[in-house]
Structure 1
């Protein structure tokens, strides 16, 4: 520190890194490191905490504690620790690399990219940093640069199946399906038991697996040492392969097995969702909104498409993104992030001032600006789970448009049950859970229909399929947009699509997705029971 204060940065860095090297040889840190490798987090914490109490300037130990926090998804704690490590030793590249990863996991891709550019300036051909930078670029929609980086990494490390898989993901997103399939196949050739690649192929919804593919997946499932993640992905992929062959019973069995593994990994309590809905109903009353008329950021830019996943939201997004005044982006994490901050803060939402409410709306626009590439006046936020935050959206962005994408309860819920999501959506891994979640969603949307009539425009998927032009015209009217013929020919619009429906919306509307649940009806009794009268009165809402 004295050398750095005296302006001798090179000497300071040399001394700091030498101290880190010496610290790593400490028997306590060696034991803590072994515990982290074994994922024995309790032992690692038991060793690290007293060590850091005795020596709070041990940068290596600080980084290990950050690793522990990251494993527990305590990313803010991990970030604070890593920033402290870099404050003490700015040249400690492993800590900077970890910080970039933690920022990326918090969806702060621009900040992650700044750290990665610093790392790559010193080590321009580092494939680990290039790989993470490619992922961060993909997160903010810079797909061409991401593809170039993946190709650079694969040229240097061609036997890395997960990088081939990531490369396949971004190729799929930009519509290069044959190249995407080739990348996935290359990953499988390197590591046949990598379940996520098999699921990535299945998730294209256009690949029909051969007998050899099915045999290879079954062989992988029978192999020794398969991780739970590989196993669940293989079950979902085999479920899709057998569904395409009309073999409903074994298909459902594989879907159920994959869901059971994932449900153990992501515990979900439907009562929590019911409680959130009840709180929203209690807070967001006509009187609440009347007392706050004129509050919020007046910008009309965002179009929120929300509802259940697998309910046609990507189709609606593709239709609207075909309009000259609307830009499609992705499922943005920013509204849930703002909601979480309010929920964990000292001021509940009903105690926010007018200035605070407006600032939240402006912050949302600032956070999402990095996703806007075209200069079009309106943009889409397509995160389905935002249905839980309609009250917050109406408060902070009163002139934004909200579109509720709704699909038949059995079609929507079973499509969720057989869909493995890359992250979140923990309610989808049990038939009763997904049914109760759908019912909670309908209940809250019905509440806002009563509290703020006309604030939410609803698109019923089956009506969109049956009379596409009428429904598109009604949708554009709700947004105050003139009709454009390109919206009818949405599949011709070339744009990145980052959801499970990416390949489906690159084709004209068809009736294939209307009743996917019917072959599986003998096993759907728990779903029917959970849905209750929500199923009976669809597309209307029951009296809650």
Structure 2
């Protein structure tokens, strides 16, 4: 062992000097004299890596771990070698092994989380990254990793708190942090605050194109199309090879887009050298422009190509997994269990949840209720979905729970704590006398059972619309990469059907009141339906709800300009413009 201890430093020194042949000779002697020493096989892995022989490096590290199975450092290095060789699932398993062997090893949790994050498994990445940060709570790199993961999961309130902490550290000098500070505020429904941040940032970083693009988005949210277009133009000038600014300009101007910008966007959308996500976005907005001009065949071609590109990038939709999720909720939440769990929930009548398919009218409902002096629109909060993920990840006191199958075993005190945390986020920016906090996260239709476990007095508004108009609207929009169903019309139809199946179940078993709110009925009889909505919300009638489009409040949605207009019938029956996609009747 003394010989090995003396020889290993010399071997690593040879590697640092790029004297690979001499290092291999030294390694051969060590393997001959000490074949059962884990450190020798660790050195064998280092030599193999230096020579670019990654498979041999993996084999060497596996041997080292087998000789010292409780050594967390060796498990960690095995994971790193596996990751370098592209064997991601095996790397994740190795990092888990290192964390299990030494639970206070920060690097194990960090590398586990970052590997999951790199594999686009954001929800799985968050708990280990949070564990790493809990072990080293002031480490800026860990703070940023958790913040970026929270942001990727659209947990904007949690991400903002971390970004604000980072902003107080000496390392906080980059444009990317300023960008995130603005994006989080904007997405939390505070565009005026975001404007202050991003305007200061473009003064500090005047050549940063993403900041100018963000400034345009903020100006759009505030309803200033002119200032938005100027910001998009500046971003495009700074990075003419970037598709997002020119796409944002077309999405805003639609039919009024100048021809030279349209031609530039078309060329970029067709260029193989342009990254696929940008090409997909450009095809989406060019399709919207064609649709607004009545050029429906051209629009259909653009949207088909956009979704082909997105599907190649983001992967397909797993119908079986989604249907199993619906089946599990229906099987778990019986009338008896729903009543039993509901009785233990927090008493607070302010939460009102607007659910349904995206593009079904959820933003319209929020705008109507927010126009009431006692209503506050919270935007699309992620708190409810986050609580479900936390349960599935074993965050409550009990571990190993399945969600929703083990709903009855979730600790009541933990749920009340999460309910209070949800309210603190929903109340951000709300007036002190707000009587209704309107959360328009459409995918909460999956979690009506959980909502009833959190809030005794919550109300649910189920937005409904012609499924064909919903399908067309989803297919024509650029949704988040996680919405893999949105790239295929048959998958969209499948999700719509499953959503209705689950909502009918909630109507049958949930102790919460559920109002069906149909878009077409609102268009046909606007005042009567708005009165019906306001009454369901438990608010006294206020005529300002009829003028929701003139409220002047910011809107964080794909339909931000539509909801600033009075009710009209132009969006009813749009599917008829695409007869090849939808059968009549």
State the TM-score bracket (shorter-chain normalisation). Answer: 0.7 to 0.9
Give 1:455 deviation, angstroms.
Answer: 2.3
The match for 1:13 is: none
Give 1:299 deviation, angstroms.
Answer: 1.1
Give 1:269 deviation, angstroms.
Answer: 1.8
How far, CA to CA, are the matches of 1:109 and 1:293 in structure 2?
27
| Alpha carbons 1:302, 1:381 under 8 Å: kept | yes
SS at match of 2:256: coil
User: Structure 1 residues 200 and 44 mapped into 2: Cα distance closer, same or farther (>3 Å)?
Assistant: same
* Deviations 1:175-232 (CA, angstroms, capped at 9, x unpaired): 2232122212222233344333344334447663232222111111243521111111
User: Structure 1 residues 30 and 337 mapped into 2: Cα distance closer, same or farther (>3 Å)?
Assistant: farther
User: Structure 1 residues 103 and 386 mapped into 2: Cα distance closer, same or farther (>3 Å)?
Assistant: closer
Confirm or deny that 1:524 pairs with 2:553.
Answer: no
How far, CA to CA, are the matches of 1:277 and 1:45 in structure 2?
28
User: Structure 1 residues 186 and 30 mapped into 2: Cα distance closer, same or farther (>3 Å)?
Assistant: farther
The match for 2:301 is: 253
The match for 1:314 is: 363
The match for 2:149 is: 102
User: Structure 1 residues 179 and 243 mapped into 2: Cα distance closer, same or farther (>3 Å)?
Assistant: same
User: Structure 1 residues 491 and 415 mapped into 2: Cα distance closer, same or farther (>3 Å)?
Assistant: same
Structure of higher RCO (CA pairs closer than 8 Å, 6+ residues apart): 1
Give 1:45 deviation, angstroms.
Answer: 9.2
The match for 1:366 is: 421
The match for 1:70 is: 117
| Alpha carbons 1:199, 1:237 under 8 Å: kept | yes
How far, CA to CA, are the matches of 1:248 and 1:524 in structure 2?
14
Confirm or deny that 1:385 pairs with 2:443.
Answer: yes
Confirm or deny that 1:42 pairs with 2:77.
Answer: no
Give 1:81 deviation, angstroms.
Answer: 7.0
How do 1:136-147 and structure 2 match up within 5 A? 136-147=184-195
State TM-score, norm by structure 1: 0.81
SS at match of 1:403: strand
* Deviations 1:295-315 (CA, angstroms, capped at 9, x unpaired): 211211111001011111111
Unmatched segments (≥5 aa) in structure 2 = 1-15, 19-45, 55-78, 395-399
User: Structure 1 residues 128 and 439 mapped into 2: Cα distance closer, same or farther (>3 Å)?
Assistant: closer
Matched residues, number:
497
User: Structure 1 residues 64 and 370 mapped into 2: Cα distance closer, same or farther (>3 Å)?
Assistant: same
How far, CA to CA, are the matches of 1:362 and 1:204 in structure 2?
42
| Alpha carbons 1:296, 1:359 under 8 Å: kept | no
Of the candidates 208, 225, 240, which is equivalent to residue 256 of structure 2? 208
How far, CA to CA, are the matches of 1:60 and 1:352 in structure 2?
33
SS at match of 1:134: helix
Unmatched segments (≥5 aa) in structure 1 = 1-22, 529-535, 537-544
Give 1:510 deviation, angstroms.
Answer: 1.1
Give 1:508 deviation, angstroms.
Answer: 0.8
Of the candidates 475, 497, 505, which is equivalent to residue 447 of structure 1? 505
| Alpha carbons 2:250, 2:285 under 8 Å: kept | yes
User: Structure 1 residues 30 and 388 mapped into 2: Cα distance closer, same or farther (>3 Å)?
Assistant: farther
| Alpha carbons 2:337, 2:408 under 8 Å: kept | no
User: Structure 1 residues 226 and 155 mapped into 2: Cα distance closer, same or farther (>3 Å)?
Assistant: same
The match for 1:237 is: 285
Out of 301-310 and 269-278, give the one that drifted further: 269-278
How do 1:36-435 and structure 2 match up within 5 A? 42=86, 67-72=114-119, 73=122, 74-76=124-126, 79-80=129-130, 82-83=132-133, 86=136, 93-106=140-153, 107=155, 109-110=157-158, 112-114=160-162, 116-123=164-171, 125-204=173-252, 208-264=256-312, 265-292=314-341, 294-345=343-394, 346-348=400-402, 349=404, 351-352=406-407, 356-357=411-412, 359-372=414-427, 373=429, 374-375=431-432, 376-435=434-493
Aligned Cα root-mean-square deviation (Å) = 3.6
Give 1:116 deviation, angstroms.
Answer: 4.2
SS at match of 1:280: helix
The match for 1:10 is: none
State TM-score, norm by structure 2: 0.75
Give 1:94 deviation, angstroms.
Answer: 4.3
The match for 1:462 is: 520
Give 1:337 deviation, angstroms.
Answer: 1.4
**Greater Rg by CA:** 2
Out of 233-242 and 421-430, give the one that drifted further: 421-430
